[in-house]
Chain A
Amino acid sequence: MNTENTTDLLGALPLVDEEANARLHDRLVDAAERDGLLDVAYRTFDSPVGSLLLAATGEGLVRVAYAREGHDGVLATLATTVSPRILRAPGRLDDASRQLEEYFAGRRTAFELPLDRRLSSGFRREVQARLPSIGYGHTATYAEIAAAVGNPKAVRAVGTACATNPLPVVVPCHRVVRSDGSLGRYAGGDEAKHALLTLEAAA
């Protein structure tokens, strides 16, 4: 018998039932959270500097990514570096979203969120841990940060640490600028860095 076309016969079974799929997805997220299987939860957040990907482990916020970094690629990397048990689960990111909303509205000057810093190590991690000490609305130079972590010659390494910050916006690498006053590299692009500094200066 040839492989017959059964589309007509089974046509009554909906190919896609959006409502059921959405309901089942929510149910899966709840069950996964309950059973401790939700290793990485994520959502996207629409901000004035574009769509931000927010991802959290059970420990805390683990990754913030700009659209230009490629959200799909970032999630694929998280699947390898953290765990492939990744689901779109906005609930775990409610606090982060709320605080980002307040920040972009000029009503929040510091983030109070548990952070999971597992994506950085060594010198980069040390530099990134230092960044929140640069106050809201202020900037520091790469050289000043290098001096502050006790390694004044490591200006380039500080630049790399800022450029590879897995938690931009929340960990304020945008507040680090060049000694000549120019902005320097930023994962979110020059415009985003400029926008954040402008926002903080205005508030």
Chain B
Amino acid sequence: MKRPFEQLVTTYGPTVLRVCRAVLGPADAEDAWSDTFLAALRAYPDLPGDANVEAWLVTIAHRKAIDVTRARSRLPVAVDRLPERPTGEGRPEDWDGDLWRALAALPEKQRLAVAYHHVAGLPYREVAAVVGGSEDAARRAAADGIANLRAGYAKGGAPS
């Protein structure tokens, strides 16, 4: 028996948003969240009843984050003036930009492992299933990521 999709949004929406913010930063996180839940809504009737819903959502979010990253890398980056941004595209003031800078400075594997294990709460086995590689590699990447964050962000302050 399948729960109404609304329950998935209220139960896992906040966590998926945290994951998207940790992986992509505040500006792109909301686009990735929207793409994730729309894709999940589309596929939901075919999801097996006994599936791990949270791992399924994080897997979709992972793919959408890759899409967003690729799209971003195709966009021109350097601008003289920042465009005026209306609210609705993420509000950087919602959370500490220093943490995002520290996360962004991590090698991607470490950032993803930290996001999926420490933010989403997935066990390393599930993290490995999402990002590829072994469970041990996922555990190491998360540990290295946390160590780097502690060194660069928590203790020494954010790198300037």
Q: Measuring CB to CB, which residues of chain A are less than 8 angstroms from any residue of chain B? A: 1, 4, 6, 8-10, 12-17, 20-21, 23-25, 27-28, 31-32, 35, 37, 40, 42, 75-76, 78-80, 83-88
Interface string of B129-157 (1 = CB under 8 A from A): 00000000000000100100110011000
Please determine whether A32 and B38 come into contact, CB atoms closer than 8 angstroms: yes
Contacts of A88 in B (CB 8 A): 6
A86-B13 Cα distance, complex, nearest whole Å: 15
How many angstroms from the CA of A6 to the CA of B154 in the assembled complex? 11
Query: Which chain A residue lies CB-closest to B144?
Result: A1
Q: Which of B9, B22, B146 contacts A4 (CB 8 A)?
A: B146
Across the two chains, which residue of chain A brings its CB closest to B45? A84
Contact, CB under 8 Å: B42 / A17: no
Minimum Cβ distance to chain B for residue A7 (Å): 9
**A residues in contact with B80, CB < 8 Å:** none
Does A17 contact B4, Cβ atoms closer than 8 Å? no
Q: B17: shortest Cβ distance to chain A, in Å?
A: 6
Contacts of A42 in B (CB 8 A): 6
Is B4 a contact of A79 with CB atoms below 8 Å? yes
Residues in B with CB closer than 8 Å to A21 are 13-14, 17
Instruction: Determine whether the beta carbon of A87 is less than 8 Å from that of B6.
Output: yes
Contacts across chains A and B counted by CB atoms under 8 Å: 104
CB distance from B104 to the nearest CB of A (A): 13
Residues of chain A within 8 A (CB-CB) of B4 are 40, 75-76, 78-79, 84, 86
Task: State in angstroms the CA–CA spacing of A84 and B5 once bound together.
Answer: 6
B3 and A84 form a contact (CB under 8 A): yes
How many angstroms from the CA of A173 to the CA of B118 in the assembled complex?
54
Q: Please state if B96 and A12 are interface contacts (CB–CB under 8 Å).
A: yes
Contact of A9 among B5, B94, B149 (CB under 8 A): B149
Task: Give chain B residues whose Cβ lies under 8 Å from the Cβ of A40.
Answer: 4
Q: In whole angstroms, how far apart are the Cα atoms of A38 and B57 in the complex?
A: 19
The 8 Å CB contact of A6, one of B9, B30, B91, B146, is B146
**Residues on A with beta carbons closer than 8 Å to the beta carbon of B37:** 24, 28
Q: Bound state CA distance, A37 and B9, in angstroms?
A: 15
What CA separation (Å) do A12 and B88 show in the bound complex? Answer: 20
Please indicate the chain A residues that have their CB under 8 angstroms from the CB of B22 in the complex: 10, 13
Segment 74-89 of B: residues with Cβ below 8 Å from A: 88
Interchain CB contact under 8 A, B94 and A83: no
B95 at the interface (CB under 8 A from A): yes
Structural contact, A85 and B13, CB atoms closer than 8 A: no
